[in-house]
Amino acid sequence: MSVRRRVPAALLALALPLAAASDERAAESEPPRRGLGLAIAHAERPYRGASARTRWRPFAVYEGRRLRLHGDAASFDIAAGDAFAVAAVASLAQDGYEASDAPVLAGMAERGSPVWAGASLRWRRGAFEAVLEWTADVSGHSGGRRAALRVGRAFDLGRWRLAPRASATRFDARAAGYYHGVRAEEAHAGRPAYAPGAAVSLGVGLHLARRLGRRDAVFLDLGTERAGASVRAGPLGGDDVRTHAVVGYLRMF
């Protein structure tokens, strides 16, 4: 499947765990759970003049005792206790672009999509969860790093599950510069060379899922993100705040 038809992995990673959740957390002795589904996402782009994109894709879910796969995101628990867990994580993002994606990008070199891999520390108390994550781009494109803090809480209301969340993500200078900077050879009178430095983006979101039975669920995920100050100040920056929506169907086996 081409990159252009993928639902962004970050959106699926947020939406699928809650949609796949059962009434109670699976016991360690239970067999792995598997699922298949289809998602459609509408997301605004971070570049001035770039049109929002609507994309669809099928996806798979696997939830074992230690290994979890949600779309293009994976995690493996290295150590886990009642409240804390340390995991190795990896995900494929769709942050790259081509010069034809927006007028402001004309003449820019193509930017490839990153593969983020690293480690996370997860703390869970009841329905509340906080995750600290440290990852690096191992795709060979940006060579950047990022650190993220995500917090959220799930509310079970009969067949419905409602989960608000908030996040803060810091991209280092290499990651921010690769995707939002302008190289000297790409600069012209209306697009000066620019190196944004590190940037911190802030996000909030709301996830809503409804179980249709023991195995089936539909979900809606809404989110908004405010780009870091150095990204907003650059010549490529579009709207300060971007939104996304994902709707999907999931069947667990």
210-213 own/partner pairs: CB under 8 Å, 24+ apart: 210/159, 210/160, 210/161, 211/159, 211/160, 211/161, 212/159
| Higher-scoring residue by pLDDT: 149, 239 | 149
Residues of the chain above pLDDT 90, percent = 76
- How many domains is the chain partitioned into structurally? 1
d(CA 148, CA 168): 6
Q: Which residue has the tokens 């996000």?
A: 203
Tell whether the model's pLDDT for residue 181 goes beyond 90: yes
pLDDT score at 3: 34
pLDDT score at 104: 95
The candidate with the shortest Cα–Cα distance to 42, out of 208, 219, 247, is 247
Domain that holds residue 7: 3-252
Mean pLDDT of 52-77: 92
CATH at 101: 2.40.160.40
Q: Which residue has the tokens 């995750």?
A: 131
d(CA 81, CA 203): 28
Quote the mean pLDDT of the chain: 88
pLDDT score at 139: 94
What pLDDT, in 10s, does the model give residues 122-136? 999 999 999 999 999
pLDDT score at 13: 53
Mean pLDDT of 92-116: 93
Tell whether the model's pLDDT for residue 235 goes beyond 60: yes
d(CA 126, CA 154): 9
pLDDT score at 17: 57
pLDDT score at 187: 96
| Higher-scoring residue by pLDDT: 24, 28 | 28
| Higher-scoring residue by pLDDT: 7, 39 | 39
The candidate with the shortest Cα–Cα distance to 207, out of 122, 92, 129, 133, is 129
Mean pLDDT of 67-78: 93
| Higher-scoring residue by pLDDT: 150, 6 | 150
d(CA 88, CA 85): 10
pLDDT score at 21: 57
| pLDDT band for position 37 (cuts 50, 70, 90) | very high
DSSP states along 106-141: TTPPPBPPPEEEEEEEEEEETTEEEEEEEEEE-SSS
pLDDT score at 94: 81
pTM of the entire predicted model: 0.86
Residues of the chain above pLDDT 70, percent = 88
d(CA 213, CA 93): 31
Mean pLDDT of 48-77: 91
